[in-house]
Amino acid sequence: MDSKSNPTFYVDKIPVYGDVILSPMTGYSDVPYRAICREYGSAMHYTEFVPVEALGGKPDPDNKFWKRLDQQPEESPMVFQIFGNDPKLIVEVAQKIEALEPDIIDINMGCSTRRVSGRGAGVGMMKSPELIGETFRLLNQYLSVPVTGKIRLGWDENKNYVEVGRMLEESGAKLVAMHGRTKEQKYNGFADWDAIAELKQAVSIPVIGNGDVVEPEDIDRMIEYTGVDAVMIGRGAIGNPWIFSRRSRGDLTFGELIQTIRIHLREMINYHGPFGLIQFRKHFKKYVQNVGPIEQLMAEFMQADSADAFKDALDRCEAQVDINQTIGRLEIELEQFEDCETVL
A 10 A CB-CB count for 77 gives 20
- Catalytic residue positions? 111
Q: Give the span between the Cα atoms of 226 and 197, in whole angstroms.
A: 4
Pairing of strands 20-22, 230-233: parallel
Closest CA relative to residue 38, chosen from 76, 79, 68 = 76
Identify any residues that bridge with 16 across adjacent strands, giving them in sequence order. 9
**In angstroms, what CA-CA distances link 213 with 22, 79, 112, 173, 242?**
11, 21, 19, 25, 13
Q: Give the span between the Cα atoms of 122 and 330, in whole angstroms.
A: 40
Q: Give the span between the Cα atoms of 90 and 248, in whole angstroms.
A: 40
Asked whether 179 and 150 are in contact (CB, 8 A), the reply is yes
Give the DSSP per-residue string, 8-77. Answer: SEEETTEEE--SEEEPP-TTTSSHHHHHHHHHHT--SEEPPPEEGGGG-SS--TTSHHHHTT---TT--S
Asked whether 50 and 65 are in contact (CB, 8 A), the reply is yes
